[in-house]
Amino acid sequence: MKKLKISGKEIRAIGYPEGPVVSVAMHEMTAHFKHASLEEALTILKQVLETPEKYVTDEKLSKIAQKLIELKTPVLEDGETISLNQNGIAFSVFGQEHIEEGAMHQMYQAAKLPVSVAGALMPDAHSGYGLPIGGVLATENAVIPYGVGVDIGCRMCLSIFDLPVRDLVQREAYFTRELLEATLFGSGGQFKQAADHEVMDSATFSEIPLLKNLHGRAWKQLGSSGSGNHFAEFGVVDITEKDAVLGVEAGSYIGLLTHSGSRALGANIASHYTKIAKQKRRLPGDASNLAWLMLDEEEGIEYWMAMNLAGDYASACHHIIHQKIAKQLGERPLTRVENHHNFAWKEQHEGREVIVHRKGATPAGLDVLGIIPGSMTANGYIVKGKGLAASVSSASHGAGRKMSRTKAFASITHKELKEQLTKYGVKLLGGGLDEAPHAYKDIEMVMQSQQALVDVVGCFTPKIVRMDG
């Protein structure tokens, strides 16, 4: 088997800056991914470059990630030094037997913040950066940028069309073409012709200097999707009985399901305000990534405005994709179901107003609809929240990873992925081994662990899946 050969020139060509990080990247890739192809190695490096914060705990990529973060982080003046509480707030854990130790540790740290008042950990949880993925944390008058996450307002959106499901097989080429023409994937992807949407006219873009500089790029990325686990897919929606909230008659339908977030706009907002939060409030060790901004101080007000704009932008990206495809289908959807994750909301919890951070968690207030996807071959579920206080009215945002991206690349073969796709009758456009079904937890187990949090009102089975690559 050939060994990986990768040059500094090739690493710089994908956007890595001049300096020690290039040689570190060369060394780490040839040491840990020596049997990967050049294309696979560059794909991994692009993902680390886009969001290095996600890889600081990765056993093979942490050194590269740390170097990239150092380059982005300015030297800051000393801020307020804050200690964690000795005893943290109590929080509920759902499906604890399936949650890794690292995610538990991160949640215990978050529970010790002086501003924390309530929390919960979802059954799809795994280690993140700051708050774990699948972590829910309610705070008093404070917002934690890395409690929200890098991809602000990452979102699910499902359109249900009254079309015969046999068309997905009989007219597969047609639906494939529509997915390819209506979407654009990739971390740096931009449209030549910008779409039009009222979100780009928001006054917030001109009120905050950071956003003013991001407006042009955001417009060119409007209606696009990112890399990693972002997707657009056609599948079969099955409704066993009519639900009063969903309002769709029992039957089988064609569904269009998308998953993506706020692109470069959200990533830049997260990075900028996390630096400010860390400057203002210095926390010990790994807890430093949980630095917060108060909502009655200028920086906190700015972040709140920017975060909400990023959420509106993420929503607009989905709506543009769905409108394009609905127009081509010549159909109006019977209904649309959508929900954010990676966001913070002002909510009432046990009689008080709190800021609820859901980092990779779905809002599940009483009768609130949402979508919880599985994997490219596993069912997803349309759910209705029960408003359980113990979960801070939240549920999982998916099946959750059981393998890191690097482990997936190293342990899953293209043959195994192809066999899974064939077994479940799924056509994959793009995608990579890091998103193979093998890398995810069992969605049925996850749903079993959160029966107290949501009711299932419908099922989505993927058939034609579009991803980056």
Q: φ and ψ at 457, to 5 degrees?
A: -120, -5
**What is the distance between the alpha carbons of residues 442 and 123, in angstroms, rounded to a whole number?**
11
Lowest mean pLDDT among 145-149, 226-230, 372-376: 226-230
Assess whether pLDDT exceeds 90 at residue 20. no
List pLDDT tens digits, range 391-403.
999 999 999 998 8
% of the chain exceeding 70 in pLDDT: 98
| pLDDT in the model for residue 354 | 97
The hierarchical CATH code for the domain 148-466 is 3.90.1860.10
Lowest mean pLDDT among 53-62, 282-291, 314-323: 53-62
- Written as six digits, the tokens of 226 are 């990112």
The set of residues, in sequence order, having a beta carbon less than 8 Å from that of 73 and lying 6+ positions away, is: 275
| pLDDT in the model for residue 280 | 94
More confidently predicted of 292 and 190? 292
Long-range contacts of residues 421-427, Cβ cutoff 8 Å, at least 24 apart: 421/376, 421/377, 423/377, 424/377, 424/462, 425/463, 426/376, 426/377, 426/462, 426/463, 426/464, 426/465, 427/172, 427/176, 427/463, 427/464, 427/465
| pLDDT in the model for residue 188 | 79
* Phi/psi-derived region of residue 249, left when phi > 0, alpha when psi is between -120 and 50, beta in every other case: beta
- 273 pLDDT band, cuts 50/70/90, is very high
Region 122-150 average pLDDT: 95
Beta strands in 296-406 (DSSP E): 335-340, 343-349, 352-359, 361-363, 369-372, 380-385, 394-396
% of the chain exceeding 90 in pLDDT: 76
| pLDDT in the model for residue 78 | 56
**CA 217, 218, 222, 226 torsion-angle sign:** positive
| pLDDT in the model for residue 76 | 44
Lowest mean pLDDT among 74-83, 148-157, 360-369: 74-83
Q: Write down the domain spans for the chain.
A: 8-72, 148-466
Residue 452: strand pairing partners: none
Q: φ and ψ at 299, to 5 degrees?
A: -65, -35
List pLDDT tens digits, range 98-135.
899 999 999 999 999 999 999 999 999 999 888 999 99
| pLDDT in the model for residue 186 | 86
Question: Considering only CA atoms, which of 152, 185, 260, 160 is closest in space to residue 432?
Answer: 185
| pLDDT in the model for residue 93 | 97
Alpha helices per DSSP H over 118-233: 145-148, 167-170, 172-182, 204-207, 209-221
Q: What is the pTM of this model?
A: 0.84
Assess whether pLDDT exceeds 60 at residue 416. yes
**What is the distance between the alpha carbons of residues 185 and 197, in angstroms, rounded to a whole number?**
19
111 CA to centre of own chain: 22
**What is the distance between the alpha carbons of residues 177 and 417, in angstroms, rounded to a whole number?**
23
Judge contact between 2 and 36, C-beta under 8 A: no
CA 207-197-319 angle, to 5 degrees, is: 120
**What is the distance between the alpha carbons of residues 167 and 169, in angstroms, rounded to a whole number?**
5
Paired sense of beta strands 427-429 and 454-466, if any:
parallel
The set of residues, in sequence order, having a beta carbon less than 8 Å from that of 60 and lying 6+ positions away, is: 28, 32, 33, 406
- Tell me the residue length of the chain: 469
| pLDDT in the model for residue 75 | 43
Q: Is 239 helix (H, G, I), strand (E, B) or coil?
A: strand
Alpha helices per DSSP H over 330-425: 405-411, 414-424
| pLDDT in the model for residue 35 | 83
Burial degree of 193 (CB within 10 A; 0-12, 13-18, 19+): exposed
Judge contact between 300 and 142, C-beta under 8 A: yes
**What is the distance between the alpha carbons of residues 109 and 328, in angstroms, rounded to a whole number?**
49
Residue 353: strand pairing partners: 348
| pLDDT in the model for residue 1 | 59
Residue with the two structure tokens 């873009």:
205
List pLDDT tens digits, range 444-465.
999 999 999 999 999 999 999 9
Torsion angle of C-alpha atoms 153, 62, 3, 440, degrees rounded to 10? -40
- 322 pLDDT band, cuts 50/70/90, is very high
- 73 pLDDT band, cuts 50/70/90, is low
Region 185-195 average pLDDT: 84
| pLDDT in the model for residue 404 | 84
List pLDDT tens digits, range 360-392.
999 999 999 999 999 999 999 999 999 999 999
How far does the chain reach from its first CA to its final CA, in angstroms? Answer: 24
